[in-house]
Amino acid sequence: MNDKDKILGLFFTDKNNLIYENIKFSENLSEKSKNNLNMLSYKFLGPIFLTAASCTEDNWKIELIESSLSLHQGIILNPDIIQSFFSLNSSIKTDDGITNLFALIGSNYTEDIKHINNILSKYIHPSIIQGKIVNEDLLGSRFHFHKFIKNELIRGLHLIDYCLGNSRKVYWEEQHTYSCVGLIERIISAENKSSNLYTFDKNDLLRKKTLNSIPSYYVMSILPHYYENLIDETLKLFNKTSIYPNIRVINLSNKNKKVVYLEEFIAEHNIKKSFGAILVQDNKTSSNSNNISFYRKNLRLIIDGHKELCEMLEKFNPNLKYEKWATQTDDDLNKLRAILDNINN
């Protein structure tokens, strides 16, 4: 795969949340684009630590962001061949604190994400931690961490680069089930944008119970739009102008809790419409729990117009209400946070 056809970056944050980065890019990029690339790590890693936004003591982490890519409508003479765009985050907790290693990958293959994640989390990241410990022990005050981490990121980048180009495999693993606790509707056109959240009634006890299982309704409502815009900005920085992103999956975790945001979209007549399900992993059998493929298939039925939204809300979870909570403006989001994210309401 030619270097100009890919996007590849590796970011490391230490216990003090200082960010170290290495981004591979074509020399054909303008100086302005190269300078703007220096801000990518801060933008992608900004929402990784969701404690403040959640107004809780829980430290939620974003483990995976995956986007599908589509060609802009119209005749395109030289379409970009990039097919997949995703990011992975590895977190390791030591006696010194938490460190994170974050990979940003755009490829013209449907990459084997699990394989790359294993390399990131089980080899590159532990190697950095162990290398730091060994060098500090051997060199003491002569150990220069900045030089060490720069070399480690270059080495890690080369290793990930070498592994790219393997098509995605089907892994026969235990199928977890999830309960749907909300649905996000987003409609985007050249003239207008709107987004709405459907979830439990504000007086439903399930609404309060769910707050222990997600970062917050506020956070879940802003993540799809935030990362879709950020990925679009990233593609343009790398001169990938004939394609646009569509959020596919966002995985979040906090200790033994796991949340999956799953989205399907359709674009017709310059209007893009998407529906995304907020799913929490079940630790025990529930009559309202299903596997990922169930939600993916039924989101597609809504998008393609074969099923009505109100009917599918009932199917996803009979306790969800056909009542819109607007999430477009700051005022909308602040209202949502004040009511739905307030456990005392």
Report the first-to-last Cα separation within the chain, whole angstroms: 55
Q: Hey, which of 132-141, 160-169, 178-187, 276-285 has the most confident mean pLDDT?
A: 178-187
Written out in words, the top-level CATH class of the domain with range 3-163 is alpha beta
Residue type (1 letter), 137: D
Average pLDDT over residues 149-156: 95
Give the angle subtended at the CA of 253 by the CAs of 251 and 258, to the nearest 5°. Answer: 80
Residue 250 CA to residue 260 CA, distance in Å, equals 6
What's the average model confidence in pLDDT over 173-192?
A: 87
What's the pLDDT tens digit per position in 96-137? 788 889 999 998 888 899 999 999 999 999 999 999 989 989
Instruction: Please report the pLDDT score of residue 242 as a whole number.
Output: 85
Mean pLDDT score, 291-305: 93
Two structure tokens written together for 325: 């909570």
The predicted structure's pLDDT at residue 51 = 47
What integer pLDDT is reported at residue 4 of this predicted model? 62
Closest CA to 101 of 145, 53, 147, 61: 61
Q: Rounded to whole angstroms, how far apart are CA atoms 42 and 249?
A: 21
Tens-place pLDDT, residues 15-59: 777 888 998 876 677 778 777 887 888 888 765 555 444 455 567
Q: Please determine, for residue 332, whether its predicted confidence score (pLDDT) is greater than 80.
A: yes
Model confidence band, residue 341 (pLDDT cutoffs 50, 70, 90): very high
Mind listing the pLDDT tens digit for each residue in 56-96? 556 788 899 999 988 877 656 666 778 889 999 998 888 77
- The domain locations on the chain are 3-163, 178-215+224-340
| pLDDT higher at 304 or 173 | 304
Query: What's the pLDDT band for 3 if we cut at 50, 70, 90?
Result: low
